[in-house]
Amino acid sequence: MPSGERRTTLADVAAEAGVSVALASIVMRGAPGAGAATRQRVLDVAGRLGYRPDSRARLLRSGRSHLLGVVFDVRHPFHVDLLTGLYAAADTAGYQLTLSAVTPRRDDRTALAGLLQDRCEALVLFGPRTPVAELAGISARLPVVTLMRGVRHRGLDVVRTDDRRGSQLAVDHLVALGHRRIAHVDGGRSHGSAERRQGYRDAMRRHGLEASARVVPGGSGEDDGARAARLLLDEPPTAVTVFNDLCATGLLDVVRRHGLRVPDDLSVVGYDDTAFSRLAHIDLTTVAQDIDTMAAQAITRAVARIEGTPVAHREVLLPPRLVVRGTTATAGSSPGRRAGPPDPPRR
């Protein structure tokens, strides 16, 4: 019956070990100032009693919480992937993470409010939809680091991938394969959409291909990709860069049903290196964001702000990386599957 006895407190341990609470506290924290024998005895008793320090009481007293609040969206696989690196980085920096999720039924504001009550020392927000004014208001009380969203405000730190550069990498890759008629499927109102489109435009211009540039309305979903494919089909290009991977799979499906072979007739580049892109079945060439560095930078920033370390720039722009898989090939290439190795190692 769990509700029966009170749980073991530091006082219980101290009493059992025959020392004062303060001394027991010193031992439990691993702080200097306790005899070796005593230390061992207290530790033994604590273990035997199944003692677990109460982090709340501990933090309440010590003022600091060493807690970093994280808001992520369960719908975005990329967010979830980021958590791995974030935990590792926080651990290294000596901080704990407290997670609050955004779900289809739980918005940004709710997720944020929960963290604010938990007395986090800083907030790490994954692609927040919260208005900048609101974020700014919060950042007046505690440091806020924004990931994957280019908010421009002097109180907010931003860590994001250079999406413009990412699109350029995609176009450069296709041009190197001999493509000239390269289209771009837009992301609509999604974050990063404008940057990715601009990167495409820049690259086309740089290659002297502005004349054959073509931007088709798309979006972030599979449906959007399918719709874009139909628009493209009247006068198909030889290659296309797509806003993101999910949209790209929608496009792939439609063009294949219309008899186009990928990559023989059409090369396709996605964006984000979403988990499913790696499936042998999809095997999508895509632009990857450097997840681990993003995570590390976010934590570094947050900690620097908390501890008052000077930080040069408010915004960290990370270089993207092209992951070449099976949906891109040389322009006008003959049928046949590429012979290369499946995937470069990750992580």
Partner DNA sequence: TTGAAAGCGCTAACAC
Partner DNA sequence: GTGTTAGCGCTTTCAA
User: 138 is written with which tokens?
Assistant: 């919060």
Q: How far apart are the C-alpha atoms of 232 and 156, rounded to whole Å?
A: 40
- Judged by beta carbon, residue 39 or residue 321, the one nearer DNA is 39
Three-state SS at 155 = coil
Query: Minimum distance from CB of 116 to DNA (Å)?
Result: 11
- When asked if residue 309 is in the footprint of DNA (CB under 7 A), the reply is no
Query: Minimum distance from CB of 297 to a copy of itself (Å)?
Result: 17
Q: Which does 33 bind (CB under 5 to 8 A by kind): a copy of itself, DNA, none?
A: DNA
> Residue 334 gets which letter from DSSP?
P
Q: Which does 2 bind (CB under 5 to 8 A by kind): a copy of itself, DNA, none?
A: a copy of itself
- When asked if residue 61 is in the footprint of DNA (CB under 7 A), the reply is yes
Single out the segment in contact with DNA by CB under 7 A; choices: 3-11, 157-165, 183-191, 283-291.
3-11
- Judged by beta carbon, residue 72 or residue 200, the one nearer a copy of itself is 72
- When asked if residue 67 is in the footprint of DNA (CB under 7 A), the reply is no
User: 22 is written with which tokens?
Assistant: 């303060």
Considering only 5, 15, 62, 250, the residue that binds DNA (CB under 7 A) is: 62
Interface ranges with a copy of itself (CB under 8 A) = 2-3, 7, 50, 52-57, 59-60, 65, 74, 77, 80-81, 83-84, 87-88, 91, 96, 98-101, 103-106, 114, 116-119, 139-143, 222, 226, 249-250, 252-254, 275-276, 279-282, 305-306, 308, 347
Query: Minimum distance from CB of 288 to a copy of itself (Å)?
Result: 17
Query: Minimum distance from CB of 10 to a copy of itself (Å)?
Result: 13
Q: Quick one: CA dihedral 278, 276, 229, 181, positive or negative? A: negative
DSSP notation for 260-318: --TTTT-EEE-SS--GGGGSTTT--BEEE--HHHHHHHHHHHHHHHHHT---S-SEEEE
Burial class for 2, CB neighbours closer than 10 Å (0-12, 13-18, 19+): exposed
Contact 126, 71 (CB under 8 A): yes
- When asked if residue 38 is in the footprint of DNA (CB under 7 A), the reply is yes
- Judged by beta carbon, residue 51 or residue 271, the one nearer DNA is 51
Other Cβ atoms closer than 10 A to 310:
5
Q: How far apart are the C-alpha atoms of 157 and 330, rounded to whole Å?
A: 41
Considering only 16, 28, 45, 192, the residue that binds DNA (CB under 7 A) is: 28
